[in-house]
Amino acid sequence: MTTRAVAWVALAASTIVLLCSGAIGAIIGTGAASSCPPPSPAVSGTSPPRSGPPTPNASQRPVGRWTSEQVTNAATIVKVGADLDVPRRGWVVALATAMQESSLRNLPGGDRDSIGLFQQRPSQGWGTPTQLADPVYAATRFYRALLQIDGWQNMPLTQAAQQVQRSAYPHAYAKWEDDANALLQAVGSANWRAIPDDLEQCVSTGGWTAPLRAPVVSGFRTVERPGHDGVDLGAVRGTVVRAASPGRVVRIRCNAIDVRDGDDWGCDRDGDPNLTRGCGWYLDVGHRGNVTTRYCHLLHEPVLRVGDRVAAGQPLGYVGSSGRSSGPHLHFEVHVGGGPVDPEVWMRDHGAPLGITAGRG
């Protein structure tokens, strides 16, 4: 199984930089000329760029209540989905299904002749017992069945899963959707340590990259918004947000307050531009030279932990609309010496210009 990526190795000691020209450099400096092409329009669709999760044989560390075995099986499911070009929504459906059917364990048996992660039955034509005991084969069969269902991407998760599984408990899959999204972020972010080689994510020779490819829809401290300490990048919900430079996670927080009574609004739902204040789910990464980058309005709580090291281009989370927000976008800030600077200027000067400006407001 191939991966379309350049692995990041020994990040604490050094960072390997993928150059868009095809050359590979090392040594992260404080500023450098760009090797990246001009920014392109926002990426459409909901699937994150394919930077390849771990190979199915790689043992993964535990995540929350999920053991190493369970996380490894989740990584296999996501890897197979990525290799089959299944949209990200399909990965979530598959993970939720396996959570319900087997608790993400490759079971040797089950109800009647059911086998494996998805409890597929040889007697129903899913494959031989030996085949269904192979997580890669089982996931492949699940995805192929899912892709045969017209309109599955627009169905509630439990309906799409039931169309494949034909379970006696058709509504049981719904309860796993949040867990599936969170675990997807873990196996698709914290462990991938990779930059795709398709020019979608380009790291400058100075070690900087745009957090995503999308138009700037609101600028830094404009006349209309003088207190806006960053820029807003307009992108569809679920777009991958990536670390702009190597560093360490220094803060993860939910910041969403209901302005009517001062109570907690919560970050696991969309915010409101008039009723909510705060950055929603956000994450700060500290970089060398007393520089910090901030990523706001994320879709879910980041699975990364404070203290984790990240590589330039490593996934941090997904675009959402938590906190004070009128719709899905990434609010991106750069702080130098504790104070905010214009991210467009900073990123341009460090060889990683942000996306096309598409209006200000």
Q: Which residues are registered as beta bridge partners of 296?
A: 331
Whether the CB-CB separation of 78 and 97 falls below 8 Å is answered with: no
Q: What is the DSSP string of 261-278?
A: T--B--SSS---TTTEEE
60-74, 196-210, 267-281: range with lowest mean pLDDT = 196-210
101-133 per-residue burial string, b: 16 or more CB within 10 A, e: under 16: bbebebeeeeeeebbbbbbbbbeeebbeeebbb
Q: Mean pLDDT, the chain, as a whole number? A: 79
List the one residue out of 217, 221, 239 whose CA is nearest residue 230.
221
Domain boundaries, the chain: 5-45+199-349, 68-189
Read off φ and ψ for residue 286, nearest 5 degrees. Answer: -90, 135
Residue 269: count other Cβ atoms within 10 Å of its Cβ: 13
Rounded to whole angstroms, how far apart are CA atoms 223 and 240?
A: 30
Residue with tokens 């281009």: 313
Rounded to whole angstroms, how far apart are CA atoms 27 and 47?
A: 31
HSE-up (13 A, CA, CB side) for residue 326: 8
For residue 230, is pLDDT > 60? yes
In this structure, the dihedral spanned by the alpha carbons of residues 114, 70, 96 and 85, taken in order and rounded to 10 degrees, is -100
For position 49, what pLDDT does the model report?
35
Superfamily of domain 5-45+199-349, CATH level 4: Glucose Permease (Domain IIA) (2.70.70.10)
- pLDDT tens, residue by residue, 182-214: 888 777 644 343 333 333 457 776 789 999 989
Residue with tokens 């906190």: 323
- pLDDT tens, residue by residue, 307-349: 988 888 888 888 999 999 999 999 999 999 999 999 999 999 9
What's the pTM value of the predicted model, to 2 decimals? 0.53
Read off φ and ψ for residue 291, nearest 5 degrees. Answer: -110, 140
